[in-house]
């Protein structure tokens, strides 16, 4: 259900103020606090900034998270500036030499390394940036101020027992450009030397997204067990394991939430089984998806071949999520009863309606054949679950329509 502050604003905005993204930061704070409270105290909660990097969102989360996962040089700069002083973990494939140098200069606290080549690049950059190094132009601050660089190797771990059965998007557990195969992790170990700048702190994995709480806990257990065995086998003394994000949300049931209580209980058990190993997670979507709405209005309502189409102001160039995930974006109709035109108001009643945007492509569909009681030209529509992977993954410039407004409600 739409929250009262969002609905009030959605109805107060003029047509020309629409479409608009409206974020309920007070609801986000409350939710993040509840998530934190459901997790075991020793577990570190990082927010994957890629889900929604808007500064007010990053800042609202700050009291409730340990740090932020960033996945590009752009995110490193952006998140560092938005929430200064908060720990960053720099992941993602294809980090460039320049990005690594800059991240070192900014004192990024953790590097999630995706390949042997990347590890070598990082070692080289860190070596050059050491105060005593030659040829370095920027000085590495290092997490500890010692010039040492904390590394987690990202592993692409095969998952047995169909653990990824319910995953919406599997990133690992099969051939993948992400992370290192287990044997490749072992091959990287000799690159950590006492004299070198890199320190292997632990293992990172992000193997799937869209998993429910029991599947997430099972996957985390597999990663933590593997990490401990690796550590014992090689006498590495690893102290950290980051089991990734990917906590599932249900776009078909916007009022349902990821079961953080069950997840927290499972992770507490896991922590007991692994004393000395700090567990870390980095969810994105499940933290912020519920705090955002994309509000717009029905410009036209027409029938074609017996089917009803509502043409909305805006479209998938603002809210690409339903196009990428091939789902119906959940929505609520906010009726506007005023109609001052001299002709009959176009309407659909007690029938399925397809909600489309203003783009000249049949792919510009936000929701397909969804039954409505009534939807009329001039009514407003609030799309829910638009707080993550929504505006920031959309192709804004296509067709040069105006950009939406952005409203961050915080009361
Ligand atoms: C490495 C990594 N961590 C965390 C996340 C966040 O995933 P989600 O938003 O599904 O929780 C992603 C998403 O792609 C990722 O690639």
* Pocket of ligand 1 contains residue 285 by CB under 6 Å: yes
Residue 283 Cβ inside 6 Å of ligand 1? The answer reads yes
Distance 117 CA to ligand 1 centre (A): 22
Q: Is the backbone of residue 336 left (phi > 0), alpha (psi -120 to 50) or beta?
A: beta
Average pLDDT of span 181-199: 97
Q: What is the pLDDT of residue 173?
A: 66
Per-residue pLDDT band at 149 (split at 50, 70, 90):
very high
Ligand 1 center–CA 261 separation, angstroms: 20
Mean pLDDT across 253-272: 98
Q: Quote the pTM value.
A: 0.95
Centroid of ligand 1 to alpha carbon of 171 (angstroms): 9
* For the CA of 287, the nearest atom of ligand 1: 11
Instruction: Answer with the residue of higher pLDDT: 411 or 66.
Output: 66
Residue-range domains of the chain with CATH: 87-283 (3.20.20.10), 290-409 (2.40.37.10)
- On the question of pLDDT at 142 being above 60, the answer is no
Q: Which of 360, 362, 371, 397 is catalytic?
A: 360
Of all atoms in ligand 1, which is nearest to the CA of residue 209? 10
Average of per-residue pLDDT across 193-214: 96
Query: Would you place residue 133 in the very low, low, confident or very high pLDDT band (cuts 50, 70, 90)?
Result: very low
**Over 70: is that where the pLDDT of 408 sits?**
yes
Mean pLDDT (whole number) for 239-254? 98
pLDDT reading at 391 higher than 70: yes
Residue of the nearest CA to atom 12 in ligand 1? 245
Q: What is the mean pLDDT of residues 203-211?
A: 95
Q: Is the pLDDT of residue 262 over 70?
A: yes
pLDDT grade, residue 125 (50/70/90)? very high
Provide the sign of the torsion angle of the four alpha carbons 386, 68, 57, 52, taken in this order: negative
- Is 3's pLDDT higher than 70? yes
Nearest CA to ligand 1 atom 5: 245
Q: Band the pLDDT of 144: cuts 50, 70, 90.
A: low
Look at residues 230, 228, 213 and name the one whose alpha carbon lies nearest to residue 268.
213
Question: From atom 4 of ligand 1, which residue's Cα is the shortest distance away?
Answer: 245
pLDDT above 50 for 318? yes
pLDDT of residue 383: 98
- Cβ of 379 less than 6 Å from ligand 1: no
Output the pLDDT for position 164: 53
What is the SS3 assignment for 238? Answer: coil
**pLDDT at 97 (0 to 100):** 97
What is the pLDDT of the chain when averaged over all its residues?
94
For residues 72 and 99, is the Cβ–Cβ distance under 8 A? yes
Nearest ligand 1 atom to alpha carbon 284: 9
The fraction of the chain above a pLDDT of 90, given in percent, is 90
Q: For the segment 289-303, what is each residue's pLDDT rounded down to a tens digit?
A: 999 999 999 999 999
Asked if pLDDT for residue 134 goes beyond 50, the answer is: no
Count of other CB atoms within 10 angstroms of residue 194: 5
Identify any residues that bridge with 22 across adjacent strands, giving them in sequence order: 293, 407
Q: Distance between CA atoms of 220 and 257, rounded to whole angstroms? A: 20
Beta-strand ranges (E) seen in 107-206 are 110-113, 149-154, 169-170, 198-204
Distance separating alpha carbons of residues 151 and 112, to the nearest angstrom: 6
Instruction: Give catalytic status of residue 360 as yes or no.
Output: yes
> Helices 260-273 and 25-38: crossing angle, nearest 10°?
40
Distance 99 CA to ligand 1 centre (A): 20
């Amino acid at each position: 259900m739409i929250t009262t502050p969002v609905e009030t604003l959605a109805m107060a905005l003029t047509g020309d103020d629409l479409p608009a993204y409206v974020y309920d930061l007070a609801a986000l704070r409350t939710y993040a606090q509840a998530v934190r409270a459901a997790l075991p105290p020793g577990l570190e909660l990082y927010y994957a900034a890629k889900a929604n990097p808007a500064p007010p969102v990053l800042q609202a989360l700050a009291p409730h998270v340990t740090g932020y996962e960033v996945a590009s040089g752009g995110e490193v700069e952006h998140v560092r500036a938005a929430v200064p002083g908060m720990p960053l973990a720099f992941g993602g494939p294809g980090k460039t030499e320049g990005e690594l140098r800059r991240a070192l200069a900014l004192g990024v606290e953790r590097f999630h390394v995706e390949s042997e080549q990347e590890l070598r690049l990082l070692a080289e950059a860190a070596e050059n940036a050491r105060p005593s190094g030659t040829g370095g132009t920027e000085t590495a601050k290092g997490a500890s101020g010692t010039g040492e660089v904390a590394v987690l190797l990202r592993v692409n771990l095969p998952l047995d027992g169909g653990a990824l059965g319910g995953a919406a998007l599997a990133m690992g557990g099969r051939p993948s450009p992400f992370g290192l195969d287990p044997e490749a992790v072992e091959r990287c170990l000799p690159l950590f030397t006492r004299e070198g700048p890199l320190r292997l702190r632990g293992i990172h994995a992000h193997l799937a997204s869209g998993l429910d709480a029991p599947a997430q806990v099972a996957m985390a257990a597999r990663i933590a067990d593997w990490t401990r065995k690796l550590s014992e086998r090689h006498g590495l003394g690893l102290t950290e394991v980051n089991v990734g994000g990917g906590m599932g949300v249900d776009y078909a049931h916007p009022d349902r939430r990821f079961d953080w209580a069950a997840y927290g209980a499972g992770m507490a058990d896991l922590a007991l089984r692994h004393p000395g190993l700090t567990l870390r997670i980095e969810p994105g979507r499940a933290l912020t998806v519920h705090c955002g709405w994309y509000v717009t209005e029905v410009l036209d309502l027409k029938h074609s071949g017996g089917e009803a189409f509502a043409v909305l102001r805006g479209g998938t160039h603002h809210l690409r999520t339903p196009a990428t995930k091939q789902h119906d974006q959940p929505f609520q109709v906010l009726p506007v009863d005023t109609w001052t035109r001299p002709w009959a108001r176009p309407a659909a009643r007690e029938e399925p309606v397809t909600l489309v945007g203003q783009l000249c492509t049949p792919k510009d569909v936000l929701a397909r054949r969804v039954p409505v009681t009534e939807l009329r030209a001039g009514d407003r529509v609030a799309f829910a679950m638009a707080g993550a992977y929504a505006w920031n993954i959309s192709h804004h410039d296509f067709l040069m329509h105006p950009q939406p407004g952005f409203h961050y409600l915080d009361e």
